[in-house]
Structure 1
């Protein structure tokens, strides 16, 4: 199934949003310039789509590192939440009496 069909069927790849907007804008300008001048583009739509797909994919080690960072951020947030809950209990319990 082509990416265009997947798009219309709302079947996106998990990392579909990781597209470099500068590259896309540059390619769109190339298309407009080629249409205005009448030249045929060297890169077809399928080639550009395939090159974007290869850029979006990450290797397993990178994904595992990112997952580790996310887990650490969650743990830090949970620790902060626990400390704040203890402080709230301390302030509301002892000073209120």
Structure 2
């Protein structure tokens, strides 16, 4: 990210949180989302990716993790397809990220 001048900001809850999840799978999901964000914001004037983790205000046992970037966003003509298994817009993509 540093080599591409992309800023990474992480906002995590102050509370100690225990999460019941597969750490390797969770790590892979975050890596994939951050890599997608890097590609999406590479042409932005000040590329930035944010990872924000927070507890649900209504359900304190639910953790949300948002990964956002300041790229152009998903084009309207593919927005309905992005959650289709194996769908990709990338030349070398597999659609499993």
User: Which TM-score tier does this pair reach, normalised by the shorter chain?
Assistant: under 0.3
Structure with the higher fraction of residues in helix conformation? 1
What TM-score comes out, normalization by structure 2 length?
0.27
Answer with 1 or 2: which has the greater Rg: 1
Instruction: Say which structure is richer in strand.
Output: 2
Give TM-score scaled by structure 1 length: 0.27
